[in-house]
Amino acid sequence: MALTITCPICGKRNGYEFKFGGEEKGPRPEEKDLTPEAWCDYVHMNKCVAGVQQEWWFHKDGCGSWFPIYRDTTTNLEQEDQKATNQEGKNDEQV
C-alpha cells in the first residue's frame, strides 16, 4: 500500500510526509456545562468508520499546514467525491 495525500499547498505527495490528525469532529465545544461524557466524546471517541471518513492531516515534512480530506479507510485512497460513510451515524446517542 502506498498512501498519497493531496496537500492543498504542495499537491499530491507521499503519505509519509504527513501526520494523521484524527477524525473530523468539528470545532472545540464550549466549555460551559460540558459533561465528562461530552468531553470524552470529543476528545477520545471515534466512529472507526470502515469506509469513507473526513479526517485531518498535517504536512509535517512539507509546508506545515493542517487540512481535512476524505479517505476510504478500507483502501487508503483519497476520495474526491467527498461523502463520508455513516456520516450521521445510525444511532449517535447511546442506547
Partner 1 sequence: MKEIQRVSPVVFKSTPVKTKTRDNWEVVMEYSEEGDGPFLVDLSHRPRFDLQDSNLAAQKPFGIEIPETPGICVLEKGVLANRMNGTQVSLYNLDSDDTAVMPDESGYTDVTESTMCVALIGKNVFSICEKLTALDFMDPQRKAPFLFQGPFSHVPCQIVTLSKEGDISGLVLTCSRGYGRDMIHSILHAGEEFKLTPAGENRFTNWIKEL
Partner 2 sequence: MMNRFNHLPTLKVDTTQKIAFIYKGKKHYGVKGDTVATALYANGIRIFARSLKYHRPRGLYSLDGECSNTCMEVDGIPNVRCENTLLEDGMVIKEQNVKGSAENDYMSFLDKLDWLMPAGFYYNVMHKPAKIWPIAMKQIRKAAGLGKISPDYEMPGKFDEVFLNTDVCVIGGGPAGMMAALSSAQKGLRVILMESRPWLGGFFEYRSGQYKDRQALHERALFLANEVAAHENIRSFTSTSAVGTYNNNLVTGFQIGKKEDVFDQRYIEIRAKSVVAAAGCIERPLIFDNNERPGVMQIACALRLAKTYGLLPGKKAVFSIGHDLGLEAALELHDLGLAISCVADIREDGHDPELLKKIEDKKIPLLKGWVATKAHGSKLVNKISLASVDGLVSKSFDCDLVVASAGITPVTGHITVAQGTLKYDNHTGCFLPDQMPEKMHAAGRVLGLNDPLSVEASGTLAGLQAAFDCENCSIQEIGEARKALENLPGPVRGTKLVTAPVKGRKSFICFDEDATIKNIKQAIEKGFDVPELIKRFTATGLGPGQGGIPGHNLPLYVAKYQTLPDVSIRPTNVRPPLVPTLISTYAGVNHKMFKITPMDEMQRKDGGIFRNLGVWQRARYFSNDLTCKKEIENVRSNVGMLDGSTLGKFRIHGSDALKALQRVFVSDMSKVKQGRVKYSAMCNDDGCVIDDGVVVKQGENDYYFTTSSGRAGQTVEWIRYHTRYDGWTFALVNLTDSLGVINLSGPNARKVLEKVVDIDISNEAFGYSEYKEFKIQDTVQTRAMRLGFVGELSYELHVPSSYVKAVWLMLNEAGKEFNIKNFGVEAQNVLRMEKCHIILGQESEQRTNLLDLGLGFLWDRNKTEAKTVGAVALRQAENDQTRLKLVGFKTENNTRAPRDGALVVDEKVRGYICTARDSFSLNEAVGMALVEGELSKIGTRLEIYEDECGDDRIYGKVVKMPFYDPEGTRMKM
Partner 3 sequence: MFLKKKPMWGKKTKLKSSYDVVIIGGGLHSLATAYFLAKEHGITDIAIIEKNYIGFGGAGRNTAIVRANQRTQYNVPLYKEALDLWPVLTKDLDYNLMFNNCGNLNLMHSEAAMKAARMTIATAQFHGVESHLIDAKEAKELVPALNISEDITFPIHGAMFHPPGGVVRHDAVVWGLARGAAQKGVEIHQQTEALGIGTKNGKVTSVTTSQGVINTKQVLISAGGYSAALIYDMLGIKLPISVLTIQAMVTQPLKPVLDHVVSSGAYHCYANQTLKGEIATGAHMDPWPNYTTLNTAHYIKHQAEALSEFLPCLRGVRFMRIWGGLADMTPDMAPIMEGNNHVEGFFMDCGWGYFGFKSCSAVGKYMAEYMATDNCPDMLKPFALSRYQEHKLMGETAALVNYSPDN
- 91 interacts with, out of partner 3, partner 2, partner 1, none, CB within 5 to 8 A per kind: partner 3
Q: What's the grid cell of residue 14?
A: 507521499
Please name every residue paired with 71 in a beta bridge, in sequence order, or none if there are none: 53, 78
What is the x/- site pattern for partner 1, positions 51-70, by CB under 8 A?
Answer: --------xxxxxxx-----
Place of cell 473526513: 54
Q: How far is the CB of 13 from partner 1 (least distance, A)?
A: 7
Q: How are strands ordered across the β-sheet holding 19-23?
A: 19-23, 52-58, 66-72
Contact 52, 79 (CB under 8 A): yes
For partner 2, the binding residues (CB under 8 A) are: 1-4, 14, 19, 21, 26-28, 30-32, 34, 36, 39, 42-43, 56, 58, 60, 64-66, 75-77
